[in-house]
Amino acid sequence: MAADADTRTALKRANLDYERRFDQVFLIFATGKSQAEILDALRHRLDNDDETERRTVQEELRKIALLRLERLVTDPTAPLSTHVLDLERGRPAAGVPVRLERGAETLAKGRTDDDGRLREWVPEDSWAAGDYRLVFDVAGYLDGATFFPEITVGFRVTVADQHHHVPLLLNRHGYTTYRGS
């Protein structure tokens, strides 16, 4: 954990240096990159002249835009995602089993990734307006020491072609959820 905290501290400092140097926030196509890789790229880019950095930012924005467009065009899954954050540990909750239910039927199952996210997991033909439940099996993640071993979040979809994001903020003694974007 010390290395992670050190990396986060170094990222904050380097971001401030970048903002002072270029008078804008640091932008990078971060998909698939670790914090250490992002920090390395940030430090390297601090040596760029203004024109080189402008071109680099344009390229990073192009990559981000292309990924977003690709997901819009090729995503065969329903527009449902979740993000589980462990408030007690101050980090994403990785590996939490999640089920999506409608009535008595389980439509999809998955586990949160290393960033605590679960997306692109619901078959498109299973998605329509109606009432759903997300069931989070948090007992295993929290080693059984929790007041709420399973958290069920019921929600209603009225417009099926909109994205629905249902985050869960979690600790051993409680949880919070809301409609995200």
Are 99 and 152 in contact by the 8 Å Cβ rule? The answer is no
pLDDT tens digits along 64-74: 888 777 766 65
pLDDT at 2: 47
pTM for this one? 0.59
Using 50, 70 and 90 to split pLDDT, how confident is the model at 18? Answer: very high
Structure tokens at 136: 């989070």
Cα(113)–Cα(77) distance, rounded to whole angstroms? 17
How many domains would you assign to the chain? Answer: 2
Cα(176)–Cα(50) distance, rounded to whole angstroms? 44
pLDDT tens digits along 87-110: 988 999 999 999 999 999 999 999
Range of the domain at 92: 80-177
Same-domain check for residues 9 and 56: yes
Same-domain check for residues 16 and 68: yes
pLDDT tens digits along 110-168: 999 999 999 888 887 778 889 999 999 999 898 878 999 999 999 999 988 888 999 99
Q: Which residues contact 129 (CB under 8 A, 6 or more apart)?
A: 157, 158, 159, 160
From 53, 74, 95, the end of a domain falls on 74
Cα(152)–Cα(83) distance, rounded to whole angstroms? 14
User: What sections of the chain are H helices per DSSP?
Assistant: 2-22, 35-45, 50-74, 138-141
Same-domain check for residues 69 and 86: no
Look up the CATH number of the domain holding residue 9. 1.10.3330.10
Structure tokens at 144: 């059984």
